[in-house]
Structure 1
Amino acid sequence: MNNRILELLEQQQGEGYLSGELLSQELRISRTAIWKQIKKLESAGYQIEASRRLGYRLVGRPSKLTPQSLALKLQEMNVSMISGIRLFDEVDSTQNIAHRLAEDGAPEGTLVIAEQQTNGRGRMGRKWVSPAGKGIWMSFVLRPGMPIHFAPQLTLLTAVALCRALRAAAQPLDIGIKWPNDLLIGGKKISGILLESTAEEERLRYVIAGVGISVNLTADDYPPELLDIATSLRIQLGKPLDRSEIIAGFFAQFQQLYAIYQREGFSPIQMLWEALSVTLHKPTRLFIDGAETIATPIGLSEQGALLARKDDGTVVPLFSAEQLLPAGDNRS
């Protein structure tokens, strides 16, 4: 059904709108059913302009990623860390696929990308809005071979690489990092990072780094309740961006920082993270040891914990984002 509607819209393209009545007669279904099928096409990344008086017209098609175009962009930016690319039209979660590949022995740098996720997830199992053809939904395999307690540092490294890449791709947007794994513009989330690790004898066997970036989503792609807290690069810039360039830019930054990290340790990453943070030096409501308190985040520890100074001068390390209470939280 969707294919037939798309075929009719494409035939009409350049000649104006195709009325809902004509579509209904051609397909022998109700106008309500036509509207539902149009919504399915939009969720697949097609841009369809609707007019109550005139009907529908096709104004844009989804911009699909291809392994060839992505490999070319990676080569142009001298990215050598990617050992293989697995690109899917639709998956439940790129994290799940990357985990299975890693268990089967996939090498470091194996990259999984999907045009759409039906069950994309963030931290604590939270769902992630990931419509077709509009964002970057990817996971990649790391095999750092280090003690498990270093895993949080890799999350912070990934955040720095992503923030630097997005700032370069989406100038002049002021993009910052909210500890530990979100990127924000003006307080609204544009990207999330999820690192999941598997260890053996206290050492990391592998790490799956998941990155979701809201690149070309429009306001219509978000549930109404998320519009106050989430946004996209397209909404903020007023124009779409090339997803292949953003992916390649991110891995160029990650490759450089990962090499520095393996050579010099966490200290250089720590300084970069603190310079890009939107969390530091602002009095914040915290939930520590079962009680709420006010403290000011002042930096990172060597382990990657967020250090917060309480009113009495004591400094406490925070290891979970759930310890930072959002505005309006009535927890006591």
Structure 2
Amino acid sequence: MKKILITGAAGFLGSHLCDRFIKEGFHVIGMDNLITGDLKNIEHLFPLEHFEFYHHDVSKFVNVPGELNYILHFASPASPIDYLKIPIETLKVGSLGTLNLLGVAKEKKARILVASTSEVYGDPLVHPQNEEYYGNVSPTGPRGVYDEAKRFMESITMAYHRYHDVDTRIVRIFNTYGPRMRLNDGRVVPAFMGQALRGEDLTVFGDGSQTRSFCYIDDQVEGIYRLLMSDYTDPINIGNPHETTILEFAQEIIQLTGTHQKIVYKPLPKDDPLQRQPDITKAKEILGWEPKVGRAEGLKKVFEYFKSLTPEELHDKEHRDFSGIA
């Protein structure tokens, strides 16, 4: 039985990856410091013989006894509300955490896939964004703690690949949504749905003409799985190329939820990307991957998930601190 370490295992994306690799017959070791993750996302796995969990911060020394075949490094705050609150921890997990896990991969001769992001492109001057584009990022702006942590992650990963011959993969993840997202994490889908379900006006930043491209979680996990099992070592975009404006998306949410809130406008945050759309040519050609779940279908599934939350979860005070900016 193959053994895989998944960091950030209690997070939104990490928990779905744990599910997938259990289903594929792996022995899964989950690791998370729970700074943004939630054990509720993986509690259904605790009774399983081939799942184990360690409460640990990968920015500190990481030890995994015995044989290890694969590592997925997904430990990182992934939304503005998180990484603006804990900027130092965000930088550390992208730098020291990645360094520690690359060391484990080198020692164990394990293949490691690191989770980068479309944010490495910053506020792009190329549209759609392909993997050859170097980006337009402010290293000293408020979002720089996340953007530059991921850019460093890519650099040190390639350095270990070239210098130490570590078997590495890099995925650049574009906006992903699905069940288990936190209402209070600041990303667009849960922000708008939470506001709609609470009967609040939907907050749009700027004039709403900025664009995003939303990929359903099942498609994202499939792309990551295929990349890990491939022989491709350069960064690759995994996301849904169907682009929409934030204003159009807010209107979709109002229609989906059957609510009648107004849309209110606030100033655009500093360094907020005006365009985000992946070029997935490489994913199609190299991995044979493209998204299958349309936005209407995916949003219905997420809406049912958020409707199932308790009133306490839906009205968590922390939701007052954010609106959809990711």
TM bracket, shorter-chain basis? under 0.3
Higher Cα radius of gyration = 1
**TM-score when scaled to structure 1?**
0.27
**TM-score when scaled to structure 2?**
0.28
